[in-house]
Chain A
Amino acid sequence: GAVVSQHPSWVICKSGTSVKIECRSLDFQATTMFWYRQFPKQSLMLMATSNEGSKATYEQGVEKDKFLINHASLTLSTLTVTSAHPEDSSFYICSARNRLAYEQYFGPGTRLTVT
């Protein structure tokens, strides 16, 4: 139980293009999902909190127009990196908070490389 999937697991895109990453809770409902970014040998950095049916809340310094988040259902949130640049290359990880419990489960992550 408590499985979170992400798709794709890795993606390479050209500078200036957009990339969409999906995060799904497979066996539980998640009213809240979170999006993180992690650079090599660094800590997880929370980018935004996504609540089902409402606008995402972004952390300070994260551009909401660049990182578009949609949480359309209790099991799906998407992150779109718009007009990607090489500095956006990173490991993007989502987590989902079980609606009926307090635990958060992480997806396997998406490795984005922008060339």
Chain B
Amino acid sequence: QKEVEQNSGPLSVPEGAIASLNCTYSDRGSQSFFWYRQYSGKSPELIMSIYSNGDKEDGRFTAQLNKASQYVSLLIRDSQPSDSATYLCALEGSGIAAGNKLTFGGGTRVLVKP
């Protein structure tokens, strides 16, 4: 079982609709979770961080965290063609050995169609 799992997609979404991305993880001790967006040929860009159970909203993005069920999700409202990218779910591992390293999921490719 992978430590962080995401559906690879592609997730095809009409322009203006809501894109819903999910991520499950296995490390129960993780406290810090992140969503990154990566365009083809570019480096990842941090779009959301979440540390507590519940929802966190930032503009068109909402992250949801449920530590008991070990999942974190990302909603993109009013999806735009410019949102077409690969979205990476990441968590900071728990314990000293983890050394603040990020563990990434394989990424979900999102395609927003005009």
Contact = CB atoms under 8 A, between A and B. Distances in A.
A43 B99 contact: no
A7 B88 CA distance: 24
A91 B44 CA distance: 12
B40 to A, nearest CB: 9
Interface residues of A, number: 20
A44 B100 contact: no
Contact of B34 (A43, A57, A103): A103
B104 interface: yes
B43 A104 contact: no
A108 B42 contact: yes
B6 to A, nearest CB: 11
Interface in B93-114: 99-102, 104, 106-107
5 contacts: A2-B46, A34-B101, A44-B44, A44-B88, A102-B49
A34 B99 CA distance: 11
Contacts of A108: 42-43
B43 A43 contact: no
Contact of A109 (B43, B100, B102): B43
B51 A43 contact: no
A76 interface: no
Contact of B101 (A49, A91, A109): A49
A102 B100 CA distance: 8
List 8 A-B pairs, minimum CB-CB distance, nearest first.
A109-B43, A106-B43, A102-B32, A93-B43, A106-B44, A103-B49, A108-B43, A49-B99
Interface of B: 32, 34, 36, 41-46, 49, 51, 88, 92, 99-102, 104, 106-107
Nearest to A97: B100
Contacts of A44: 44, 88, 104
A32 interface: yes
Contacts of B106: 43
Nearest to A32: B100
A110 to B, nearest CB: 10
Interface string A52-94: 0000010000000000000000000000000000000001010
